[in-house]
Amino acid sequence: MEILHQKLSLLPEKPGVYLMKDSSDHVIYVGKAKILRNRVRSYFTGSHNGKTELMISQIADIETIITDSEVEALVLECNLIKKHNPKYNILLRDDKSYPYITITEEVHPRIMVTRKVKKGSGRYFGPYPNATAAREASRLLNRLFPFRKCRHIPTKPCLYYHLHQCLGPCIEEIKPQSYNQMRKEVIAFLKGDQHKILEQLEQKMHEAAENLEFEKAKEYRDLISDLRKIGEKQNITLNDFIDRDVIGYALTKDQICIQVFYLRQGKLLSRDNFIFPFYEDPEEAFISFLAQFYTDKASLPQEILVPPIDISILTLLFPIVIPQKGQKHDLVKLAMENAQKTLHDQITLEAHHIEESLQALEGLGKSLNLAAPHLIEAFDISNIAGTHTVAGMVQFLDGKPNRHDYRKFKIQPMENMDDTAAMRQVISRRYARLKEENLSMPDLILLDGGKGQISAALEALQGLELTISVAGMVKNDRHQTAGLLNQKGSSVDIKKDSPTFHLLERIQNEVHRFAITFHRQQRAKTMTLSELDGVPGVGPKRRQALLRHFKSIERIRIASPEELQAAGLPIPIAETVYHHFREVKKE
């Protein structure tokens, strides 16, 4: 702590970035400052809210990087947050990326939905916060325009060709110019002009009806209906046809909600919201969010409308505007109102869930003559006829899944490989490790099983000289949660409509899902290894390429040499794979 105070006295009066580290030298927070000395010292003076106090209590060291300007500090802050993923920062993770619709730059182009933007690989439209809407639009366009559908051009026509949804480059030469007009119409559609396509569809629908092709007419009618429904979702419009984002925010003492409206071609397509705690001035948190949200974005809107705060630092990086009056000002006000409503609803729901979880845990503890179990670990064994036996363990903290501490177990071979023996083994392994590493034990162990599994678990715990309460979750004939057994094997009376019973259902369903998913992964891996690993010339990369192309071992097994070549195999290897499966079939 003395070294920390010495570093505080040496802080420069210059702009820059500061990195706060814990006792393990992990970066827990990254911030930027106009004047490093004032900003960093402010954490250690005055009073703060509970969450900020928690962060400050974990600071063991501070590192600073001086920059020439506050703008440079902001950019550096974004880069360091992405590098270190500090737990107290706003983290816009990669899995929150939004999909785009792209028209690929290929000889025979495709229309597809992607989350990865590659320069020079196509023309991109989006991002679409609503992934379902993006897929729906892509599906409609692929039905309307005969672009290529196949990832790799096959050697014979597919169903799309026969449905007139592909020009068929697999069987005839198609000039690149053939796609130009279609490309223009698709681009117009994605920019918001649907009138021309609607007119074409209506004309085709009437033509089909006149020719007594009623099935085709119905198909066009349904397409028209889908397009109009998409149009109905766009309920806020500006007539300047500009792409813009409208952003508002709302605050509590320690949480901020940011609402983003996405207007494209003047129409509101969708919205998104982000709720997270903040550990600094709320305007600083808002600026940090905007910088992360728009840095490295594949495409920026023409305008970003925000409420009146001091964001001069961001106007140098992004097309940010603070509207003072008129319709744009009203849109920002609407975004602020939505943010306030979203934050209020979130707080109300969280309070309800906390109260419900508290009731459920108190009820569970009362049923088993325990204090309300703060930490619960649940186990399930999964196998098929005693093969590929695995176990899954899920952890619930205060009634909520704590997925970071889920665990998977491969059951080691034993003389007796039934579920009871497997449960004994996994309980012994799990808690021997916790005991050895001096880690916290759960308040309650729940098992997906009956008296046999409970007895096995208690034997394993007794062998480790541990005393932990154990209970069994039993199912009915339809594999639904039916009740609870205490560690004596006696049934516990719990009302089916109580919060406690609903908590048991969630835990049992979650541990079953987790265990069976792991079991399927292991079984599929074993099947894949037995089928492909013995084939000369097929290593891990080619095996993965084949599975990506054909989707299953069965389709690889029946593929012709030409189809195997289309998947990327050289001719000799394709012949080897083809003959391998024929020999296996004979045997």
Residue whose pair of structure tokens reads 């609503």 in the numeric block: 130
CB contact at 8 A, 278 and 256: yes
Out of 59-63, 180-184, 454-458, 553-557, pick the least confident: 553-557
CB contact at 8 A, 483 and 472: no
Residue 528 or 525, more confident: 525
Answering whether pTM is above 0.75, one says no
In angstroms, the CA 248 to CA 225 distance is: 33
Q: Which architecture, in CATH terms, is 244-345? A: 2-Layer Sandwich (3.30)
- The secondary element (H helix, E strand) that includes residue 343 is helix 326-367
Give the residue range(s) of CATH 1.10.150 domains in the chain. Answer: 533-586
Three-class secondary structure of residue 388 per DSSP = strand
What CATH code would you report for 375-524? Answer: 3.30.420.340
Question: Class of the 2-89 domain?
Answer: alpha beta
* Alpha helix (H) residue ranges in 173-295: 180-190, 195-210, 214-232, 282-294
The reported pLDDT for the residue numbered 376 is 94
User: Does the pLDDT of residue 310 top 50, yes or no?
Assistant: yes
CB contact at 8 A, 418 and 408: no
CB contact at 8 A, 390 and 382: yes
Could you tell me which residues are beta bridge partners of residue 101? 113, 125
Out of 2-6, 112-116, 511-515, pick the least confident: 2-6
Could you tell me which residues are beta bridge partners of residue 113? 101
In angstroms, the CA 368 to CA 370 distance is: 5
Question: Which one-letter DSSP state was computed for residue 100?
Answer: E
Residue whose pair of structure tokens reads 């080619």 in the numeric block: 542
* Alpha helix (H) residue ranges in 211-325: 214-232, 282-294, 312-315
Print burial letters for 509-526: b (CB count within 10 Å at least 16), e (below 16): bbbbebbeebbeebbeee
Q: What confidence tens digit (pLDDT) does each residue in 21-71 have?
A: 888 888 898 888 888 888 888 888 877 777 778 888 888 888 888 887 787
In angstroms, the CA 21 to CA 67 distance is: 20
Q: What confidence tens digit (pLDDT) does each residue in 320-346 have?
A: 889 988 888 888 988 888 888 888 878
In angstroms, the CA 15 to CA 70 distance is: 6
Q: To the nearest whole percent, how much of the chain has pLDDT over 70? A: 89
CA angle 261, 263, 265 (to 5 degrees): 180
Out of 80-84, 117-121, 310-314, pick the least confident: 117-121
Give the residue range(s) of CATH 3.40.1440.10 domains in the chain. Answer: 2-89
Give the residue range(s) of CATH 3.30.420.340 domains in the chain. Answer: 375-524
Q: What confidence tens digit (pLDDT) does each residue in 193-244 have?
A: 667 777 877 888 898 888 888 888 887 787 777 666 555 444 455 666 788 8
CB contact at 8 A, 553 and 528: yes
Token pair of 492 as six digits = 């516990």
Out of 55-59, 466-470, 582-586, pick the least confident: 582-586
For residue 73, name the pLDDT band (cuts at 50, 70, 90).
confident
What CATH code would you report for 533-586? Answer: 1.10.150
Could you tell me which residues are beta bridge partners of residue 401? 396
